[in-house]
Amino acid sequence: ETGVTQTPRHLVMGMTNKKSLKCEQHLGHNAMYWYKQSAKKPLELMFVYSLEERVENNSVPSRFSPECPNSSHLFLHLHTLQPEDSALYLCASSQGWGENNSPLHFGNGTRLTVT
């Protein structure tokens, strides 16, 4: 198993659909993140969970709803998305949040297309 696994790899959904992205980490980390990667823009931090508690939410629209049931799993629930939400959604984990030099470990991402 790779360190951080994301499913599905690709997702096409209509604007009225509801879907969920899943992330699982096998590194024993206790912090997990959702990032949005759009072309020619810096990575956008969406949510951070530390010890299963949400610690940061960067003004993300409510059509994105995260869930972290335990320190190994992270979900991103999607509903009534817009075409501009099409992007690569990356999950990451780290050992500690706000601790010295703890690098992020990323999954391979879910390529989301909203039609």
Q: Which residues bind another protein (CB under 8 A)?
A: 4, 6, 31, 33, 40-43, 45, 48, 55-56, 90-92, 97-109
Whose Cβ is closer to another protein: residue 17's or residue 37's? 37
Minimum CB separation of residue 80 from another protein in Å reads 27
CB-nearer residue toward another protein: 79 or 88? 88
- The minimum distance between CB 104 and another protein, in angstroms, equals 7
Scored b (16 or more CB within 10 A) or e, 10-27 reads ebebeeeeebebbbbbee
> Whole-number minimum distance, CB 107 to another protein, in Å?
5
**Interatomic CA distance for residues 51 and 38, integer angstroms:** 28
Rank residues 31 and 76 by Cβ distance to another protein and give the closer one: 31
Name residue 93's amino acid.
S
Q: Extract the runs of DSSP E, i.e. beta strands, from 71-109.
A: 73-79, 87-94, 105-106
* C-alpha 75, offset from chain centre: 7
Closest separation in Å from C-beta 16 to another protein: 29
